[in-house]
Amino acid sequence: MRTVLGSIVFLAALPLSGCATHEIPYDRDNANIHTIGVVTPGFASKAQAFLASTVGESVGLVGGLVDLAMEEKRDGQLRHIFAEANMDGPNEFLSDLNAALQARGYAVVSVPAPSDRTSFLKSYPPAASADAYLDVAVIGYGYMAAGISDGDPYRPFVWLRGRLVRASDNSVLMQEVISLNPLNLGGWLGGGANAQITLSPDPTYRYQDFDTLMAHPQQAPQGIRQALKQSADTLANVLR
Amino acid sequence: MSIAKNFALVCGLGLLISGLAMPAHADPESEWVPFQAEREPDSTPITDLSAKTCVEALDLTHAQQLTLDSDGEGKAMLVIDSRSPCINTAGSKALYTVAVLPASDTPYAITVASIGQNDAFLAPHALFLTSAGTVSRDLPGDAFTFRKARLSALVRSRQNERYLVVESDPASVGKDFSRVAETVYSTYLGSATIYSGSDVQRNYVFAHSGAIMVSIAPIPKN
């Protein structure tokens, strides 16, 4: 029951969690931020094998139940090959984010926080040396197919929200939604008047169907690593 | 309540929410259609300026004035095409256009967006100039990223900046790239809703020409 709920929450969280996120542009020259406290990123769930449209959901509740069971099975298989490849999405993302910030001239300090969350923190634990906190919530990541036809392959996806909050007065200096391989151009995730950032997935990691994805247990985790790295780098580039 | 009923309730809620989240007949291709400007850009993307006569300094005298409405918002479509002025940059040539930014006591958000047309995007490079014509900020091509289907830069205004110059980026012109659009459609058939997916990969080329949407909006308070 808990895992089924997890899937439902993943779907339900998408439209709700993005609605309140409005893009706020950053001005580095005037922000005077040198050291960033990188908060432990929130990850809504483990990696997903997300089939965005199915026959089952079109034929009612029974079909939906069947779909959920199949999705659970796919998720488990995907997580198995990720585990076999020693892939740790949350920690690898955090490492990529730190490196991307340092490459852009920032000093970074770690700010431990709960990772099982889909939204920003309400307040931040003290980090004496940080000028600002970078708070990231990864709403979902894994592989996604738009549908079940031959023309709807599985590709990597990473959807996240990030913001930079000044330590001294809690003012929000930057806020963005980033969707690598968005669904419906990210319409699910809401976004403000300025619109979220949409990244296209690397065409190298394109699998005709789920069986083909599973037949590439070495390559498929690399696709997610690359997607998480690209997302982290894009977020850091906003702070350039 | 039995586990089965509980399970059914949760699943039904999930399907309802997921259904509401999916726009009926949402078409990403509509985002690829160019916004209508006062003047239509050339239908063929310009990728070669070798025959174009270019000048050494930007001409700011014909800049388009951007204005704010009562909500502090404004939009303007700029066009760079064969009729646009050309400037010699570092060893290359670039087409450009200029806009005058509205004066404001409070900073606002500026989005500079290159809009796809005929499978091409203007390779954007933006400069912010003071009223004296001095470069205050330089946004190179890698400062732009896609926002929805538009190649955009989102910045905060500064009081000392008067002009926005958008140039083509000669280093990127001629390079191609692809974009993937994943979409879920919902079709209503009587009391049933049928969901189907679409995965479209399209190829584009960077050009000296294209349409640029400049949008100004208040910075959200969050």
> pLDDT per residue over B210-221, tens digit each?
999 999 999 988
End-to-end, the C-alpha distance of chain B in Å comes to 41
Contacts of A183 in chain B (CB under 8 A): 182-184
Confidence of residue A55 (pLDDT cuts 50, 70, 90): confident
Q: Do B18 and A5 touch (CB under 8 A)?
A: no
Separation of alpha carbons B23 and A53, rounded Å? 13
Q: Do B198 and A234 touch (CB under 8 A)?
A: no
A183/B contact by beta carbon, under 8 A: yes
- pTM for the full model? 0.86
In the numeric block, which tokens belong to residue A131?
A: 């000028």
B171 phi and psi angles, rounded to 5 deg: -65, -25
Task: Output helix, strand, coil percentages for chain A, rounded to the nearest 5.
Answer: 40, 25, 35
Which has the higher per-residue pLDDT, B172 or A193?
A: B172
Substitution target in A200, A230, A237 with the highest count of B β-carbons within 10 Å is: A200
How far A80 CA lies from chain B's nearest CA (Å)? 25
Q: Do A194 and B217 touch (CB under 8 A)?
A: yes
Question: H or E element: which one contains B18?
Answer: helix B3-21
pLDDT at B41 (0 to 100): 72
A19/B contact by beta carbon, under 8 A: no
> pLDDT per residue over A182-212, tens digit each?
988 776 554 454 589 999 999 999 999 999 9
A&B contacts, CB < 8 Å:
175
Instruction: Give the β-pairing of A132-145 and A42-43.
Output: parallel
List residues bridging with A38 in a β-sheet.
A110, A134
> pLDDT per residue over A60-101, tens digit each?
777 777 778 888 999 999 999 999 999 999 999 999 999 999
> pLDDT per residue over A97-122, tens digit each?
999 999 999 999 999 999 999 899 99
ipTM value of the model? 0.86
Share of chain B above pLDDT 70, in %: 82
How far A112 CA lies from chain B's nearest CA (Å)? 24
Q: Which chain A residue shows the shortest CA-CA distance from B189? A: A58
A52/B contact by beta carbon, under 8 A: yes
pLDDT at A10 (0 to 100): 43
In this complex, the residue of B179, B195, B197 whose CB is nearest that of residue A145 is B197
Contacts of A149 in chain B (CB under 8 A): 196-197
Greatest C-alpha distance within chain B: 79
Nearest to B212 by CA among B22, B24, B34: B34
Lowest mean pLDDT of A153-167, A205-219, B177-191, B201-215, name the range.
B177-191
Confidence of residue B27 (pLDDT cuts 50, 70, 90): very low
pLDDT at A194 (0 to 100): 52
A188/B contact by beta carbon, under 8 A: yes
Confidence of residue B188 (pLDDT cuts 50, 70, 90): confident
How far A187 CA lies from chain B's nearest CA (Å)? 8
Which has the higher per-residue pLDDT, B1 or B186?
A: B186
Q: Do B145 and A155 touch (CB under 8 A)?
A: no
Contacts of B3 in chain A (CB under 8 A): 1
Write down the H helix ranges in chain A.
2-18, 28-31, 55-58, 61-84, 89-103, 210-214, 219-238
How far B218 CA lies from chain A's nearest CA (Å)? 10
A140/B contact by beta carbon, under 8 A: no
Q: Do B220 and A192 touch (CB under 8 A)?
A: yes
* CA angle (B130 as vertex; B125, B135 as ends), nearest 5: 40
Confidence of residue B117 (pLDDT cuts 50, 70, 90): confident
Taking 50 as the threshold, does the pLDDT of residue A53 lie above it?
yes
DSSP A86: T
